[in-house]
Amino acid sequence: MKTLIIERDKLVENIQCIKERTSSTVIAVLKGNGYGLGIVDFARLLTENGIDFFAVSELSEAMVLRENGFTNKILLLASTSLPQEAELIVSNNIIATVGSVNSSVTINEAAKKLGVTAEVHLKIDTGFGRFGFLPGQIDNYYSLLKSFDNMKIAGTYSHLSFSFAKKTKLVQNQFDLFIKCAEGLKQNGIDTGILHICNSCAFLKYESMHLDAVRVGSAFLGRIPIENKYGLSRIGVLKSQIIEFKDLPSNSYIGYANTCKTKRNTRIGIVPVGYKDGFGVEKIRDTFRLRDILRYVYNDLKQWKKRMYVRVNGKRARILGRISMYNIIIDLTGIDAEIGDEVLLDINPIFTESSVKREML
Ligand SMILES: *Cc1c(COP(=O)(O)O)cnc(C)c1O
């Protein structure tokens, strides 16, 4: 039995904390099933707390929101040139991202066919190399952009590639380039609509870059790849149980690769939670693969040396040895615990298997 507990009070506090940090519109990013919180429940909580502009990565996520009765603004963060998708986007009143000539033609055609005006946000690629017009490219399309009668530009945005790092200069360069592109559009008679570039890290670190809106995802969960000095609580607790006990003599090895050896008689408990459930996934990424250590070198380096603990009956119990696919082994020496007792583990909901039941308490 496993349940992902989402503490509603803490989540609401995080939402308030985020709203208080800015006078710009907060666009709540709900990709990945609402960062694993459950997209519908999370969207409902956000709406109740005054955030009514959403963004998603996939059309299917936007459709889930519409099917559940959400009439809020939804920005689809992926630019698409597929006609079938464009029709669904437009007919469901989803704000399309237009990041290429192809996608703008496709969206405009779909809107014309449906006899409506499609609301879109233009995407500028200021250095991420994914969706968006390159700055040098958009200059050539001013007149084309103005020619689309069934498309209204309600916003213009870009995405930062280094907001989590101490690379302020690179962030500033992308920001400056974005502003330059927006100015170019305006000077050529194109209304850019609202401007936005910040994701969670940039939103927290660079107040001067908030512009008209900020796109916030991970900050709602207080799980950000920068030091959390913003008063955001970590959301996500996995609830499981002790299913087995055993007393091991001293000098016994525990787990794969013999990384742990008991120094005394040790009472161990087994908890049926592992990588499969998303537990410790962030940890392996940082701990065991050199190339990932290098890749995530900007993260809190201290973290991957840290011991990991779970909570049993209000006490901290240390995880012994490596986490495996289905189970963890915990040290219950000196802890009053029985088979079936509840075990609480810190987990990032975005990595938590979708089959694990979510409970918002
Ligand atoms: C995921 C995403 C965000 C939100 O990122 P966080 O760092 O989780 O806040 C914002 N903008 C775009 C384009 C994204 O893909």
Strand order in the sheet with 237-241: 244-248, 266-271, 328-331, 315-320, 309-312, 342-346, 237-241, 3-6, 357-360
Last residue of a domain, one of 186, 221, 256: 221
Helix (H) and strand (E) counts in the chain? 12, 19
32, 223 in Cβ contact below 8 A? no
Confidence of residue 276 (pLDDT cuts 50, 70, 90): confident
CATH of the domain at 23: 3.20.20.10
Tens-digit pLDDT profile for residues 138-153 = 888 999 999 999 999 9
Evaluate if residue 268 carries a pLDDT over 60.
yes
Q: Is residue 2 part of a domain?
A: no
Which of 195, 221, 247 finishes a domain?
221
Does one domain contain both 270 and 180?
no
Instruction: Please indicate, yes or no, whether residues 212 and 243 belong to a single structural domain of this protein.
Output: no
- Nearest ligand 1 atom, CA 159: 13
In a domain, 228, yes or no: no
Number of domains the chain contains: 2
CATH number of the domain bearing residue 337: 2.40.37.10
Average pLDDT over residues 44-65: 98
Could you tell me if residue 334 is inside a domain? yes
Q: What pLDDT is stored for residue 181 in this prediction? A: 97
Domain span at residue 60? 7-221
What are 40-54's pLDDT values in tens digits? 999 999 999 999 999
Asked if residue 232 is part of any domain, the answer here is no
For residue 218, the CA-to-ligand 1 centroid distance in Å is 8
Q: Is the domain of 208 the same as that of 284?
A: no
Same domain as 353, residue 205: no
Q: Give pTM, 2 decimals.
A: 0.91
Give the model's pLDDT for residue 283. Answer: 58
Domain co-membership, 202 together with 242: no
Residue 110 lies in a domain: yes
Atom of ligand 1 nearest to the CA of 216: 9
Q: Is residue 114 part of a domain?
A: yes
1 in a domain, yes or no? no
Binding-site annotation: residue ranges: 130, 325
What is the average per-residue pLDDT within 65-93?
Answer: 97
Segment 251-263, tens digit of pLDDT: 999 998 898 999 9
The ligand 1 atom nearest the CA atom of 57: 15
Same domain, 79 and 186: yes
- Pairing, β 328-331 against β 266-271: antiparallel
229 found inside a domain: no
Q: pLDDT tens digits for 314-332?
A: 999 999 998 998 999 999 9
Q: Are 200 and 224 in contact (CB under 8 A)?
A: yes
Can you tell me the mean pLDDT for 27-46? 97
Contact (Cβ atoms closer than 8 angstroms) between residue 163 and residue 198: yes
On whether both 183 and 272 belong to a single domain, the answer is no
Residue with tokens 């670190």, as numbered in its chain: 205
Kindly report the average pLDDT of the chain as a whole number.
Answer: 92
189 and 104 co-located in one domain: yes
Average pLDDT value for residue range 66-89: 97
Tell me: do 209 and 250 sit in the same domain.
no
pLDDT in tens, 80-125: 999 999 999 999 999 999 999 999 999 999 999 999 999 999 999 9
The identity of residue 35, as a single letter, is Y
Asked if pLDDT for residue 292 goes beyond 80, the answer is: no
pLDDT at residue number 167: 86
| One domain, residues 217 and 248 | no
Are 206 and 267 within one domain?
Answer: no
| Strands 53-56, 25-29: pairing kind | parallel
- Mutate which of 199, 205, 223 for ligand 1? The one with the most ligand atoms within 8 Å of its CB, which is 199
Closest Cα to atom 3 of ligand 1:
199
Q: Is the shortest distance between the CB of 21 and ligand 1 below 6 Å?
A: no
By the 8 A CB rule, do 238 and 352 touch? yes
Using the predicted structure, report yes or no on whether residue 285 has a pLDDT greater than 70. Answer: no
Residues 73 and 195 in one domain: yes
Cα–Cα dist 215/198, whole Å: 6
119, β-bridge pairs:
152
Q: Is the pLDDT of residue 294 over 70?
A: no
Per-residue confidence (pLDDT) for residue 1, from 0 to 100: 81
Cβ distance 83 to 61 under 8 Å? no
Q: What was the pLDDT predicted at 296?
A: 44
For residue 165, the model assigns a pLDDT of 87
Helix or strand run (H / E) with residue 294: helix 290-295
Among 221, 248, 274, residue at a domain's last position? 221
